Amino acid sequence: MKELKHTSKFLSLVLRHQPTLIGLAMDSEGWVDVSELITKMNDNGHTIDVQKLETIIMTSDKQRFAYNDDKTKIRANQGHSVNVDLQFEAVTPDELLYHGTVSEFIESIRAGGLKKMSRTHVHLSRDRATAMTVGGRRGKPVILIVRAGEMHKDGYKFYLSENQVWLTEEVPARYIEFQSDEA
Ligand code: HQG
């Protein structure tokens, strides 16, 4: 299990951030060739075959990766920092969405809103529990409530990744409800 998680993290790294680390070609929609991925991961010390890859994809707690129809290509469902266009369609968001962060970022978020930082989008969660997990990666989570319905009415676009993460370009501070640290 630990070994699978390690390999899954490496997959996230190459499929979201650094395909060039192992000399992998990625197309403009984020797809890479499965056989090339397997060959190049093995060349770089990450033992993997089709079966193990399949196990990682199927058991990923957040369904981070997806195959194309004939399973010859694979990509990450969201979270990229490399410049890709996943061809998301804009959809109407839930009235309220959540963002999990930590207190040290709050002052800057109050001043400048939520920014995409190094990724292609700001990531928002559909429920508070998920946002707690996201914020908890960095410390004691602080939950921000985003008035997504109001943003949408004002013309901001929202996208829902295949693994149910809400994405948008930015969240100006006026649409954010800042709560106490208690979350
Ligand atoms: C913060 C994981 C200062 C923001 C998760 C966050 C998610 C600001 C950090 C996915 C800011 C960016 C994404 C501002 C935003 N000033 N700080 N103006 N605007 N921030 O990792 O949302 O497990 O890029 O609050 O579960 O934490 O990898 O985004 O703390 O779905 O699959 O800047 O990554 O998924 O951090 O996480 P990130 P995120 P995986």
Q: pLDDT over 90 for what percent of the chain?
A: 93
Is 126 domain-assigned?
A: yes
Nearest residue (by CA) to ligand 1, atom 12, is 117
Q: Determine if ligand 1 sits within 6 Å of the CB of residue 17.
A: no
139 close to ligand 1 (CB < 6 Angstrom):
no
Residue 61 has pLDDT above 90, yes or no: no
pLDDT tops 50 at residue 183: no
Strand order across the 141-146 sheet:
97-102, 141-146, 176-178
Confidence label for 151 from pLDDT (cuts 50, 70 and 90)? very high
Please report whether residue 81 resides in a domain: no
Q: Answer whether residue 183 is part of any domain.
A: no
Residue 87 placed within a domain: no
Q: Which of ligand 1's atoms lies nearest the C-alpha of 137?
A: 27
Is the same domain home to 101 and 71? no
Domain count, the chain: 2
- Across the chain, what does the average pLDDT equal? 95
Is residue 82 a part of any domain in this protein? no
Ordered DSSP codes for 85-148 = ---PPP-PPPS-EEEEEEGGGHHHHHHH-B--TTSSSEEEBSSHHHHHHHHHTTSSEEEEEE-H
Quick one: average pLDDT of 72-79?
97
User: What is the spatial distance between Cα 143 and Cα 182, in angstroms, rounded to a whole number?
Assistant: 9
The verdict on 148 and 116 lying in the same domain is yes
Q: Are residues 112 and 52 in the same domain?
A: no
Domain carrying residue 118:
97-177
CA–CA separation, 132 vs 143, rounded Å?
Answer: 7
For residues 137 and 80, is the Cβ–Cβ distance under 8 A? no
CATH number at residue 13: 1.10.10.970
What CATH code is carried by the domain that includes residue 111? 3.20.170.30
For ligand 1, pick from 134, 171, 176 the residue to mutate: most ligand atoms within 8 Å of CB: 134
Contact 144, 179 (CB under 8 A): yes
Let me know whether 16 and 51 are in one domain: yes
Asked if residue 124 is part of any domain, the answer here is: yes
Strands of the 65-67 sheet, one edge to the other: 32-33, 73-76, 65-67
Q: Is the pTM for the entire model greater than 0.85?
A: yes
62 lines ligand 1 (CB under 6 A): yes
In a domain, 84, yes or no: no
